[in-house]
Amino acid sequence: MKIGIAQINSIIGDFPGNAKRILAAYRECLEAGAEIVITPELSLAGYPPRDLVFKSQFVPKCLQALDYLAGESREVPLLVGYVARHHPTRPGKPFRNAVAWLERGTILHRVWKTLLPTYDVFDERRYFEPGESCNPIIWNGKRIGLTICEDIWTDDYLQRPFYDRDPVDELSAKGIDLLFNLSASPFHLGKPAQRRVMIGGIARRIHVPVVYCNAVGANDQLVFDGHSLVTGSNGNISAQFPGFRESCRVADPFLTVDNDVVLDACEPAHLYQALVLGLRDYARKCGFTSVCLGLSGGIDSALTAVIAAAALGAENVRGLTMPGPYSSRGSVEDSCALAHNLGIRCDEVSIGESFAALKATLRPLFHGLPEDVTEENMQARIRGLLLMALSNKENHLLLTTGNKSELAVGYCTIYGDMCGGLAVISDLPKSRVYEVARWVNREREIIPWNTINKPPSAELRPDQKDQDTLPPYDILDGILELYVEHHLSPDEIISRGFEEATVLWVQRRVDLNEWKRHQAAPGLRVTSKAFGIGRRMPIVQRFSG
């Protein structure tokens, strides 16, 4: 049996465009001999549609596009993810997360998603009613189990008792020859390998092949990596799709192999590819063709510029280096060297006169008070004003360049270096920034080695270094991972060997700066717990522990 797998990049709410993508993929698979074609979860609507589903015309236009697809896909069955209405006279949520089986010009079967995730970045119970039963679909003598994303994320594998049902077991008990899963599974570091283990385990458990079609592309903060795959009944992976790009291929799930097809699991490469895809889609889907950013000569802005050039082309990246009274000439030279290596434009605009004028304006108000962090932040805010002006004047998307370590503890200036429309590396801890930067330079120098090797500094006061204020980044990142991603208490983190004073300082800084993160630009999620839609902490609270 030849299954066409259409790993496509949908745009939320773009029903005509998504239908066109689906049909193009359908015809490509037909030419390759496909007997059935499957697409990702909510491929027609885009994932996640969130509160758009409540708009009066969203679901009607989705259903209209579905009818159009049914009329245009008559050759072989096409499986399409869409938003369906729940029965209006029954209690429950108004919609379903659904798959339509299109065949011979009509909707032959409709299947509802059974397990609706409501954790981390997911909030599906806000919108959807779960399916009541799981039944195989009989086609060409085969009994096919049809599942949607979370339906296969079982408790046995994840050891999390979120659900009292297992759709895979329900289908297996009724007898199936093949299992399909239409998915929109967002990326975080290690997720592609995790899926392989899980899906291979399911195939071995129920002794049938599994065809897994995952979305690719980025919507807001979420990046979908693709990496669709096919396993034989022995659990070995016989087909592995590429990551971070669209791909349409035909695979035979009944073909068994003795060893898994290899996954390229280089972590710095996955992080880089995810960020490039995330930036490209955020800009493109929001209507931007170019970006601008501040180049400080530091590693964070350098890596952001590299990602931007890869995502949009060097000709569409505008850099601005803005030396101040405490900037070293080396930082400006490093910024210019980076721009030269990338082929991007970089202009130099000093903030010295603006800073002096602003201090003079404020002198009567600050009379008798020593200079402190106020004057440091003023420099960052002057730079933010210049970058916002450039963004406004030339219609660039302004990129912020702060990393996760800084954002976690508030080592960033609100209305200063936090100005912008997208925080590209805000989910990348500083230690990972260095790792990805070195990977970027694996073949030749792109980021100047001086930028990578010199001690990081905001250069807002004489001889300033980050480590004057922050713990060493390897220690800071270790504590942050335990506190933010694993939700451990300070005592539990201290028991892991970290110094008590440092742990308590980090905890307090993370908690105190929640207000600042609420005003930050959206950031691209690449770890298991980003500051964004998957982390909902109150600003006003007094819990400590």
Look at residues 244, 187, 258 and name the one whose alpha carbon lies nearest to residue 216: 244
Residue 476, CA atoms < 13 Å, CB-side half-sphere:
26
Tell me the one-letter amino acid at 151.
D
Q: What distances in angstroms separate CA 199 from CA 35, 184, 231, one per listed residue?
A: 23, 15, 8
- Helix (H) / strand (E) element for 217: namely strand 216-219
Look at residues 487, 527, 535 and name the one whose alpha carbon lies nearest to residue 507: 487
Distance CA 268, CA 506 (A): 26
**Tokens found for residue 295:** 């180049």
Annotated catalytic residue, options 29, 103, 113, 213: 113
- Helix (H) / strand (E) element for 247: namely strand 247-251
- Mode of pairing for the β-strands spanning 178-183 and 142-148: parallel
DSSP structure string for 476-545: HHHHHIIIIIS---HHHHHTTT--HHHHHHHHHHHHHTHHHHHTSPPB---SSS-SSTT----SS-----
Annotated catalytic residue, options 29, 62, 134, 149: 149
Annotation says 292 is catalytic? no
Sign of the four-CA dihedral 14, 274, 526, 338: negative
3-state secondary structure of 318: strand
Annotation says 41 is catalytic? yes
Contact between residue 524 and residue 500 where contact means Cβ atoms under 8 Å apart: no
DSSP structure string for 322-383: ---TT--HHHHHHHHHHHHHHT-EEEE---HHHHHHHHHHHTTTSTTPPP-HHHHHHHHHHH
Q: Report cis status (omega within 30 of 0) of the bond before 48.
A: yes
Strand order in the sheet with 397-400: 345-348, 317-321, 291-294, 397-400, 422-423
3-state secondary structure of 146: strand
Look at residues 204, 206, 131, 195 and name the one whose alpha carbon lies nearest to residue 171: 206
- 423's CB contacts (< 8 A; 6+ apart) are 399, 400, 402, 407, 520, 521, 522, 523, 524
Strands (E), 64-170: 78-85, 95-103, 106-112, 137-139, 142-148
3-state secondary structure of 265: coil
Q: Among all residues, which ones are annotated catalytic?
A: 41, 113, 149
